[in-house]
Amino acid sequence: MIQIPESVFSRSFSAAWITPEGDFVPLSRDEDHTSLAANFPGMPTDDQLAIDYPATYAIARMRYVKVSSPLQCAWDGKGRRGDVRMQTMADFMSQAMVWLRGSRHNPWEINPRSDLTRVKVYVTSVTSPDIYARTEREDLTVGDFVDIYGTRETIDYLYGKLMGESFVRACRMVERRLLRSKTLREGRSPMDGDRLYRMIVREMKNS
């Protein structure tokens, strides 16, 4: 699990870039996404779209993820569970929600004592470098996002910190019991362990 500097959590916009390799690159207070993207390695100097719109070009053509805040990001939409870019975003999101629970600073006007796993998350898919091209936005929750993209370590961190370690221990106990059950072992297609664990966490949280 990547450790994110706490100073980035409070930024309500222009928080960071995530590289195609999953590295988290926070922006300083005097930086913006566009100026940083213009100097990315491999950014074309002979493509007018790259020259005019380096930020959207970096997202759509170079597989960078633009992170506006812990609750908003833009990517090319070409990925699934296990994508290192979104794993990093899940780490950032989880750590920010845990920070919010114990912080006096609240940049998003969210009740820190509410169920922070139900806070809305906005993920935009950018498929063209042209800023006037159509984009699609997916509205998720923190819990949804971490369930889809987070590692098991990230899931345990989020729910352990927000709901208590006893919740995580209970999830693991149910997982062990199911994995030992005759019914599950004799199923037609053995269930992937991580998928089973995500289902258990989701069901127990909603129960």
111-158: per-residue pLDDT in tens?
999 999 999 999 999 999 999 999 999 999 999 999 999 999 999 999
Mean pLDDT, the chain, rounded, equals 92
pLDDT(78) > 60: yes
DSSP state of 67: E
pLDDT in tens, 3-51: 999 889 888 789 999 999 999 999 998 899 999 999 999 999 999 999 9
Q: How confident is the model at residue 187 (pLDDT cuts 50, 70, 90)?
A: low
| Phi and psi angles of residue 17, each rounded to the nearest 5 degrees, phi first | -115, 150
Closest CA to 57 of 80, 30, 33: 33
pLDDT in tens, 119-128: 999 999 999 9
Closest CA to 86 of 139, 154, 29, 38: 154
β-pair partners for 75: 125
Q: How confident is the model at residue 194 (pLDDT cuts 50, 70, 90)?
A: confident
pLDDT(183) > 80: no
For the chain, percent of residues with pLDDT exceeding 90:
77
Q: What is the pLDDT of residue 206?
A: 87
CB-based contacts of 65, cutoff 8 Å, min separation 6: 17, 18, 59, 73, 74, 75, 85, 86, 88, 89
Closest CA to 175 of 151, 198, 146, 206: 198
